[in-house]
Amino acid sequence: MKFAQIVGWGMHVPDKVIGNDAFVQMGLDTSHEWIASRTGIHERRFVENGQPVSDLAVKAAQQALQVADAHPSDIDLVILATCTPDQVMPSSASFVQHRLGATKAGAFDLNAACAGFVYALSTAAAQIESGRAETVMVIGADELSTHLNWQDRTTCVLFGDGAGAVLLRASDEPGIMASTTGSDGSGAGLLEIRGGGTLANSNGHASNGNAFLTMKGPQIFRWATQKLGEAATKVIEESDLTVDQVDLFVPHQANLRIIDAAARRLGLPEEKVFSNVDTYGNTSAASIPIALCEAISQDRVHVGDNMILTSFGSGLSWAALVIRWGTPIPSSVPRWTPIRLSLETRVAAVRSAFKKSQRAVRATIGERLNKDGD
Ligand code: UT7
């Protein structure tokens, strides 16, 4: 039996840091005290100058390749979990695949909103376990700042932008041991962005505020505190583990009160729970891979550890997963690896420019031939 093992990881957040006071300065009826005490959030990052989500994703994925000392051409599949793609089509994963120079890889976006990264990990693990893929890049990246209504204090203070990635490789040792995914579309209206889809477009309502995220926060709060614990319990049991054998719980970073309540329900002590919602806010599909990267850099992940990842969000959707960590944490990246990767990225850019011009030449010749034929 093959297992999917995380062998590389990386994260990227925009440079622009927004503290809670920035919202007060914008004239919003809020305060640092309210935001910090009700959510645990102190600051978040927002993209600037139209930086697309694929750009954050590429940077996180490049780091994951670097840690794994892997080549872009090793990748069989790129799965990008996002609900804020660069454009409706093609998938943002295609841009990422192309920019990485992952010439052998298939690529697609997966939209399960904030639950997307764990959904994507579960999907990638199934590909590896079935033997259909050997190496899969899984990325969670979102820019919900591009959908926030700056007049709505109940939503705009909660979210941030970012990306995180892991490289999965087939291994004889576990690995991802169990996973569960769930959906309850009856709660679709609790957290949504209505614009950009066929419904809004065919109604002629593509704009008019439909691009804004809306949320019934307290209802999501009540549902999430229960669902996180339920989903975690399910995968712990499926892995034949007990709660005592869990070394680290990495939940979706939406609200510290949700995380604490879920940990209490599970009976997990504080030292086994990871949270960085204070620094990044809710980065949607990026929240778990960013938390994972920070847990690793804070020496909270060790070979043999049992980790639980749980996520929830719009859909309503949720997912949970158990990982037995199997990769030693490298103390440093070999000196030549960044140089090699930077060269490979440049080669990918030249290849891209060449292919584009080849296409343009072919199109011109085709047009000429068609005209001559007329
Ligand atoms: O990825 C999944 C995404 N979503 C979530 O996980 C969100 C889950 N929900 C939550 O995290 C919480 O429900 C919120 C943080 C959104 C809200 O916290 P709450 O403790 O549930 O507050 P509330 O909505 O019950 O509001 C309490 C009061 C209200 O005022 P009134 O009606 O009592 O006068 C709100 O209008 O707090 C007010 N309020 C604020 N006050 C200052 C709401 N947002 C703010 C704000 N600043 N930013």
- Write the pLDDT tens digit of every residue in 303-323: 999 999 999 999 999 999 999
- Residues 235-272: pLDDT tens digits? 999 999 999 999 999 999 999 999 999 999 999 999 99
Q: Can you tell me the distance from the alpha carbon of 277 to that of 296, in angstroms, rounded to the nearest whole number? A: 16
State if residue 282 touches ligand 1 by the CB under 6 angstroms criterion.
Answer: yes
Tell which one of 154, 157, 215 to mutate to probe ligand 1, the residue whose CB is within 8 A of the most ligand atoms: 154
71 class by beta-carbon count within 10 Å (0-12 exposed, 13-18 middle, 19+ buried) = middle
- pLDDT of res. 352: 80
pLDDT (tens digit, 9 = 90+) per residue, 15-59? 999 999 999 999 999 999 999 999 999 999 999 989 999 999 999
C-alpha 224 – ligand 1 centre gap (Å): 14
Residues 6 or more apart whose Cβ sits within 8 Å of residue 172 = 2, 3
pLDDT in tens, 48-67: 989 999 999 999 999 999 99
Average pLDDT, the chain: 93
Q: Is the pLDDT of residue 121 over 80?
A: yes
Q: What is the pLDDT of residue 122?
A: 98
Q: Is the pLDDT of residue 372 over 80?
A: no
CA of 215 relative to ligand 1 center, distance in Å: 10
Strands 213-215 and 191-193: antiparallel
Distances in whole angstroms, Cα of residue 351 to Cα of each of 100, 256, 356, 361: 11, 45, 9, 15
pLDDT tier for residue 286 given thresholds of 50, 70 and 90: very high
CB–CB of 3/176 below 8 Å? yes
> Can you give the pLDDT at residue 360?
87
- CA-to-CA separations, 29 to 21, 157, 168, 219, in angstroms, rounded: 11, 11, 45, 22
Contact at 8 Å (CB) between 293 and 8?
no
**What is the C-alpha separation between 266 and 232, in angstroms, rounded?**
8
- What secondary structure letter does DSSP report for 192? E
Lowest mean pLDDT among 126-140, 192-206, 245-259, 347-361: 192-206
Give the pLDDT band of residue 203 (cuts 50, 70, 90).
low
Query: Is residue 373's pLDDT more than 60?
Result: yes
Residue in 20, 23, 31, 38 to alter for ligand 1 test, most ligand atoms within 8 A of Cβ: 38
Distances (CA, A) of 242 to 19, 173, 270: 39, 20, 17
Each residue's pLDDT tens digit, 150-172: 999 999 999 999 999 999 999 99
Active site residues: 114, 252, 282
How many angstroms separate the alpha carbon of residue 4 from the centre of ligand 1? 39
pLDDT of residue 317: 97
Q: What percent of the chain has pLDDT over 90?
A: 82
pLDDT of residue 209: 62
Rounded CA-CA distance 374/367 in Å is 11
Look at ligand 1, atom 28, and give the residue with the nearest C-alpha: 154
Alpha helices in the chain (DSSP H): 21-25, 32-39, 53-68, 92-100, 116-129, 198-202, 217-238, 256-266, 277-280, 287-297, 336-373
Q: What pLDDT does 281 receive?
A: 98
Per-residue pLDDT band for 208 (boundaries 50, 70, 90) equals: low
Ligand 1: centre distance to CA 154 (Å) = 5
